[in-house]
């Protein structure tokens, strides 16, 4: 079962964390199943960029990016060459390391 190493994020995962999820699971699903509340405003339907992550290690082991994801990523805050939408990034057999960007573009999110 592949391991996802999550680098520290001040809001979602302050200490960083390592979790395991079965191959075939999206990164977003894995994070949510392990209590890491990454934003996913479109409910994982590949219609926004709020679940954007940067894959620091293991990028090549994720499933291929389709054109819809590629087009959406162009609008993501903090886009990098190894960026993915976590709802579309499907785990394979190898471990990955991800960073959740500090900000997202979510005009509907309520701030307290």
Q: Tell me: the pLDDT tens digits for 31-57?
A: 999 999 999 999 999 999 999 999 999
pLDDT per residue over 67-81, tens digit each? 999 999 999 989 999
Question: Total domain count for the chain?
Answer: 1
Question: Residue 9: inside a domain, yes or no?
Answer: no
CA-based nearest residue to 60, from 29, 39, 81: 81
Whether 74 is in a domain gets the answer yes
Q: Residue 106 has what pLDDT?
A: 65
d(CA 74, CA 77): 9
Of residues 5 and 77, more confidence is placed in 5
Q: Is residue 65 part of a domain?
A: yes
CA distance 106 to 74: 15
User: b or e along 38-55 (b: 16 or more beta carbons within 10 Å of the residue's beta carbon)?
Assistant: bbbbeebeeebbbbbbbb
Domain of 71 in residue numbering reads as 47-102
Is residue 96 domain-resident? Answer: yes
Q: What is the CATH number of the domain that holds 82?
A: 3.10.20.30
The per-residue pLDDT of the chain, averaged, comes to 92
What average pLDDT does this structure show over 75-100? 96
- Checking if the pLDDT of 111 tops 60, the result is no
What's the pLDDT at 108?
44
Domain assignment present for 27? no
Inside any domain, residue 68 = yes
pLDDT at 103: 80
Residue 24 belongs to some domain of the structure: no
Query: For residue 72, is it within any domain?
Result: yes
What's 29's DSSP letter? H
Q: How far apart are CA 50 and CA 92, in angstroms?
A: 23
């Amino acid at each position: 079962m592949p391991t996802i190493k999550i680098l520290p994020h001040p809001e979602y995962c302050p200490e960083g964390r390592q979790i395991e999820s079965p191959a075939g699971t999206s990164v977003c699903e894995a994070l949510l199943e392990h209590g890491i509340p990454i934003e996913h405003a479109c409910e994982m339907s590949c219609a926004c960029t709020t679940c954007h992550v940067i894959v620091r290690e293991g990028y090549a082991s994720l499933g291929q990016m389709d054109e819809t994801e590629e087009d959406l990523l162009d609008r993501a805050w903090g886009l990098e060459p190894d960026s993915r939408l976590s709802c579309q990034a499907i785990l394979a057999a190898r471990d990955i390391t991800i960073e959740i960007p500090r900000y997202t573009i979510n005009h509907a999110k309520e701030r307290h």
